[in-house]
Amino acid sequence: MHGSIGPTELRALGLNPEDLLDFSASISPIGPPDGVWNAIRGVDLSRYPDPECLELRETISRKISITDRQIPIENVIVGNGSTEIFHLIARVYLSKRPVHGTAVLMTPTYGEYEGACRLADARILKCVANLDGDFRWDIDSASKLIEDNKPDIVIVCNPNNPTGVYLSRREIEALADATRDADGLLVIDEAYLAFVEEPWDSLPLLDRPEVMLVRSMTKDYAQTALRLGYALASKDVVARLREFQPDWSVNTLAQRAGVVALNDIAYLPRARAAVFSAKAYLVDQLRSLGLEVPDTEANFILVKVGEAAKWRSLLLAKRFVVRDCTSFGLPEYIRIGILPMGDTKRLAKAIVEIAKSEAH
């Protein structure tokens, strides 16, 4: 479970998913692109999916390439959610018998990386961010950790879940240099990049064979149920991952939805505008209550509430789900994904009520 509310807890509370407003997942707030429904309806369910995801890889290549930089389809691998890609990376790079591999994780971060590394029996080393301050990492220490331990892979989430810290090109390049010198692979998870207000272009990093970019189409286009993600890397890295990927792991509904979503060029600007306005409103409301809300560059915010587990329960009683960040090692924080303005206003009102009753 990823901190959302699971079916077992829902049943115990006598609730249905529709009874709740879910701010625990951080996905596009405007629902999937309209064309997705038609595309899905047209799928022949009696046929196997294309195991090569050819049309989708061509579309990814066409849509994300910028004029002077073409990403060939041999450099693209599609996964059953980006989660599948992290598990493939762990199997390929870490499950080496008889000696298991080493992974450096930049933490606190998305728990699935560590889960995948554990399944591969890897040695896991963590570079922990400054948890008492701005949540940034000391990049020199991270580089030293990499140089000293020569990991097979380094994983960094940019912008990071749950802290929203967004590393600069220079910081990422420093990590890439250290990883190259260690003969490893730097995996940059860009699951939330689509919602950074002023992103820098990471595609030129693909000139470096030691870099892989991983992206989630489930979040960008609000289709988490379909499971769709992709990675961009050197042809060799992509070929190695493909060898370990089961055939047909990306179903036809997801492939079709992905093509339609990428072709809908008006969608992301709309989704981004919805995120930016609701996020600004929420941050403003919560800060004016006196709550500490660190700056985040993603489509979620952290709020320092004191006792996160208690706040999650109090909000759940009002039918709102937020992420208790205890499992990230941040028990004083909740994470709130950005939903449309109307829902965000309702959540802000509930938080005001709780803050007032807690103050008494």
Ligand X SMILES: Cc1ncc(COP(=O)(O)O)c(C=O)c1O
> Contact region for ligand X (CB under 6 A) — 67-75, 78-86, 296-304, 331-339?
78-86
Nearer to ligand X, 191 or 293 (CB): 191
Residue nearest to ligand X (CB): 81
CB of 258 to ligand X, least distance (A): 11
CB of 288 to ligand X, least distance (A): 29
CB of 198 to ligand X, least distance (A): 20
> How many helical (H) and strand (E) elements, i.e. helices and strands, does the chain have?
13, 12
CB of 311 to ligand X, least distance (A): 20
Q: Residues 308-327 vs ligand X: string with x where CB under 6 A?
A: --------------------
- Copy the structure tokens of residue 257: 């939805």
**From the list 75, 102, 158, 161, which residue makes contact with ligand X (rule: CB under 6 A)?**
161
Q: Is 337 in the site for ligand X (CB under 6 A)?
A: no
Nearer to ligand X, 161 or 245 (CB): 161
Q: Is 245 in the site for ligand X (CB under 6 A)?
A: no
Distances (CA, A) of 189 to 14, 116, 186: 36, 14, 10
Q: Is 229 in the site for ligand X (CB under 6 A)?
A: yes
Nearer to ligand X, 189 or 324 (CB): 189
Q: Is 61 in the site for ligand X (CB under 6 A)?
A: no
199-208 LR contacts (CB < 8 Å, sep 24+): 199/166, 200/168, 200/169, 201/66, 202/158, 202/169, 202/172, 203/64, 203/65, 203/66, 203/69, 203/71, 203/232, 204/69, 205/172, 205/173, 205/176, 206/71, 206/75, 206/232, 206/233, 206/234, 208/176, 208/180
- CB of 67 closer than 8 Å to CB of 225: no
- CB of 234 closer than 8 Å to CB of 71: no
**From the list 122, 156, 157, 194, which residue makes contact with ligand X (rule: CB under 6 A)?**
157
> Contact region for ligand X (CB under 6 A) — 75-83, 115-123, 130-138, 294-302?
75-83
Nearer to ligand X, 161 or 252 (CB): 161
CB of 10 to ligand X, least distance (A): 19
> Contact region for ligand X (CB under 6 A) — 76-84, 139-147, 298-306, 308-316?
76-84
Euclidean distance between CA atoms 119 and 244, whole angstroms: 15
Distances (CA, A) of 17 to 3, 20, 96, 303, 313: 14, 6, 41, 24, 16
CB atoms within 10 A of CB 148: 11
Q: Is residue 139 within a helix (H) or strand (E), and if so which, with residue range?
A: helix 139-149
CB of 218 to ligand X, least distance (A): 4
Euclidean distance between CA atoms 103 and 113, whole angstroms: 9
**From the list 216, 223, 252, 255, which residue makes contact with ligand X (rule: CB under 6 A)?**
216
Helices (H), 182-266: 217-220, 235-244, 252-263
Nearer to ligand X, 101 or 108 (CB): 108
Q: Residues 106-125 vs ligand X: string with x where CB under 6 A?
A: ----x---------------
CB of 100 to ligand X, least distance (A): 23
Within 13 Å, how many C-alpha atoms sit on residue 241's CB side? 27
- Contact residues toward ligand X (CB under 6 A) are 2, 81-83, 110, 157, 161, 189, 191, 216, 218, 224, 229
